[in-house]
Amino acid sequence: MRTVIVSEREDTPAAEKGTFILDLSSREVRDCTGCWSCWQRTPGRCASHDLDDFYRAFMQADKVIFYIGVSCDFVSGKLKTLFDRMIPHFLPYTTYRTGESMHVTRYDHYPEIEVYYKGDFSSREARILYEEYLGRVFYHFHIPKVLIHSENEKKERTA
């Protein structure tokens, strides 16, 4: 199984040999400028080439595991930037077949996603919103299977 790890935390578990790791805590990822090059000039490729290796690994993966934090009851700015920069994986056209507007897939295969988050929330509702946001992002990314867990849930499951 080909696995990719996206992490913004220092306590990320050790990865198996050959696993692609995108370390958001140390890697500089440029913001999306909204230039539309990924759809018009270089379809499927961002004009900023800082994530080319990640794009390839992501699309070749069977599973992508995210180890992320909580920042002011939401995802970090770096993770939001990564999500924004993943738009080249889709076509500039939209479909309404699910009753809502969604981009059309560019590829036949998208990896499964597992998310393990760690951090405190100001309320139960904030935690629910955080998880629902992640679920909606991956739903719109046409991800076939998404698992979202707090780090405590992961420890309970493996203990």
Q: For residue 154, what pLDDT is reported?
A: 53
Domain ranges of the chain: 3-158
pLDDT digits (tens, 9 = 90+) for 15-68: 888 899 999 999 999 999 999 999 889 888 999 999 999 999 999 999 999 999
- Cβ–Cβ under 8 Å, residues 20 and 57: yes
Distance CA 7, CA 13 (A): 10
3-158, superfamily in CATH? Flavodoxin domain (3.40.50.360)
Lookup: tokens for 53: 């290796």
Strand partners, 64: 4, 113
Q: For residue 157, what pLDDT is reported?
A: 47
Distance CA 153, CA 66 (A): 15
pLDDT over 80 (residue 156): no
pLDDT digits (tens, 9 = 90+) for 107-141: 999 999 999 999 999 999 999 999 999 999 999 99
Which pTM value belongs to this model? 0.91
Dihedral sign of CA atoms 111, 114, 120, 125 in order: positive
Lookup: tokens for 27: 């890697």
Hunting for tokens 């203990």 — which residue is that? 159
